[in-house]
Structure 1
């Protein structure tokens, strides 16, 4: 039996995919596409949407992104153990982490610039910008078949890089008379994930499975979240990217890392009931922390408050436990087969709406008002999310899948 304190590598029989993590990732991605499409609807329940800035509260849309960050963390110990089992050393792991982080930051910056694009000055609107960016992302980061000639793979990747360079050069944003050039803005969703992933993955690499180190890192970034909310972080430290220095994003991801490591420990001992009890207690403590800190800084996604960090961590942990008992223990994972591609081709799924929106724009498709209103509108947005998942699954079958 391996010791928790020293874990240089994991045996192959321990490095396995956990069905509940894939399912939780899949369901979270479906929800992410669904809530991102709510802008197209009217007369829908307010609790489905984001809570406004400065408002103390939370909606469904405010829970999805932190859940995804938590799941990114849950995947890390398994992914790093797997790469170690294949022979990667720490230096190789660090370079892999840096490479993935840079890819996410690049994607985030390009997509976020589309939000302020000046269509007339750039020569294309936001919808087409996003679609062209996503084409370039796929060309650069697609996992090409090993049978494809290396020269062709490199040519396609180079074409993707060239497309991004041209887009960055021609981009103009802002209002006429006050145009701005291409630049990092708030990093975008993928960029935020990239920064949180960078720190959390490096911590996971050097922790080498030591639970004490992982818990200490989570506590440190949770305290940093409290300090940021209380405006106690010294000004010189503000040069550090906000997704890191505000503590919240990284704490969400590290929370997932800690829970995954605990899961590994309990799984190795086959103590599912004890694990469920421990996880339930942890979720309850997180909810208590959320309730306590809410009185000081409120509950807000846009302000990334500590209460939001703790509550969303608890929600995601509870969802994971439920899915683990349903899929891994009761063997009912096949119930979720329609959304399974979103758990394995997650990034590709995330990019799919850009192509559908571009197609709708180019074909001048206008849905009738009843399909954009109330309950029927919600059904439309759910079908939209499922179509994105199914298209991504189909693209995988023809050799298109993103691998960072």
Structure 2
């Protein structure tokens, strides 16, 4: 644990809003009744829910710059930075695996890929690239990874199948690789033939982090004024969205595959939202809108973990002779199904926020 220090407030707000949205999307009262924007796309496409994870990875990249820039210049600091990054990576992976075992005991069907695993890998690889490469090299790497991933998914034959088909969930080289390396028993429980956080999809996810590093590096420049910084972030974001939409015409925007068009479309969204937050909050000081989101933002991983544990265990509570759940008691009896489901999701956001608010008031950041 460490005390709060000087931070980029707009980044904490953006990250906090993203975590709050993640909790909202992941914890409906009834998975059968959800407003369409809060559901992930069935396959191709991008909903509000699909923007959440890439926004978080984008901010991982921004955070790397703000956390490491002052120590990066001296190569003597690199071994310690990398060892700390590796430790955090392993802890994040362990947290995911332990949580799975607590909720659904059994090593035979333990899912090996996952959200925290992808965050961990992107964080570590982006840290290495930030320390050991120039921004020009990283810009070239963004192009190489996006184009290379497009060629891999679109043109690489799938063993035992032949031509790839990205319109099907399990008929591309990424799904084949996951089945080969992890085996079907250790993939996403709802499929077992592919995984939305698969291994090959980590390559374009790294680009999402690198776009965040590009944004953080630009914001940290001292030879540009704030209006110039914001203008360029907006412009770059707009261009990325347009290119993503055009690319999506023949390499569809798809979160589960983390397609190159998805990277650019969501990266552009992240750039523009960060620019707006920076301009309003850090430049012009409009801070009344920040109070709710900052407690989430400064303890993002803790909030994410609690959003799994708290609903999991409190949903086991029953009340009265009818054994009603919290959802039944609080919302189901007096709201329409979709509004009751949304109400329960908002309830979990507020419950987790209360814990985060206590930590924030005590100036405590829990670091993994």
Tell me the TM-score normalized by structure 1.
0.71
| Residue of structure 1 in register with 2:139 after alignment | 215
| Residue of structure 2 in register with 1:205 after alignment | 131
Asked if residue 189 in structure 1 is aligned to residue 115 in structure 2, the reply is yes
| Residue of structure 2 in register with 1:260 after alignment | 216
Asked if residue 19 in structure 1 is aligned to residue 16 in structure 2, the reply is no
Distance in 1, matches of 2:96 and 2:302, equals 14
Residue 259 (structure 2) aligned to one of 301, 305, 329: 305
State the 1:57 CA deviation.
1.5
For 2:288, what is the secondary structure of its paired residue? helix
Distance in 1, matches of 2:269 and 2:282, equals 19
| Residue of structure 1 in register with 2:339 after alignment | 375
Distance in 2, matches of 1:41 and 1:19, equals 34
State the 1:216 CA deviation.
2.2
CA offsets 1:358-397 (integer angstroms, 9 cap, x no match): 4423422332314573335424322321320221332466
Residue 203 (structure 2) aligned to one of 247, 264, 269: 247
CA offsets 1:146-202 (integer angstroms, 9 cap, x no match): xxxxxxxxxxxxxxxxxxxxx9xxx32xxxxxxx6264x342110111111111111
CA offsets 1:317-365 (integer angstroms, 9 cap, x no match): 1111111111111211232212211111111111112332244234223
Aligned residues: 322
Distance in 1, matches of 2:350 and 2:149, equals 35
Contact 2:238 2:272 in 1 (8 A): no
Contact 1:41 1:374 in 2 (8 A): no
For 1:17, what is the secondary structure of its paired residue? coil
Distance in 2, matches of 1:357 and 1:81, equals 38
Distance in 1, matches of 2:257 and 2:366, equals 31
Relative to 1, partners in 2 of residues 1:249 and 1:64: Cα closer, same or farther, differing over 3 Å?
Answer: same
Q: Which has the higher helix share?
A: 1
Relative to 1, partners in 2 of residues 1:220 and 1:357: Cα closer, same or farther, differing over 3 Å?
Answer: same
Relative to 1, partners in 2 of residues 1:191 and 1:293: Cα closer, same or farther, differing over 3 Å?
Answer: same
Further displaced range: 390-399 or 215-224: 390-399
Tell me the TM-score normalized by structure 2.
0.78
For 1:187, what is the secondary structure of its paired residue? coil
Distance in 2, matches of 1:262 and 1:212, equals 13
Residue 281 (structure 2) aligned to one of 327, 331, 336: 327
Contact 2:33 2:337 in 1 (8 A): yes
Q: CA RMSD in A?
A: 3.0
Instruction: Mark the runs of 5 or more structure 1 residues left unpaired by the alignment.
Output: 1-14, 115-128, 131-166, 173-179
| Residue of structure 2 in register with 1:151 after alignment | none
Contact 2:55 2:270 in 1 (8 A): yes
| Residue of structure 2 in register with 1:126 after alignment | none
Distance in 2, matches of 1:77 and 1:247, equals 20
Asked if residue 316 in structure 1 is aligned to residue 270 in structure 2, the reply is yes
Contact 1:286 1:314 in 2 (8 A): yes
Instruction: Mark the runs of 5 or more structure 2 residues left unpaired by the alignment.
Output: 160-172, 183-197, 319-324
| Residue of structure 1 in register with 2:86 after alignment | 98
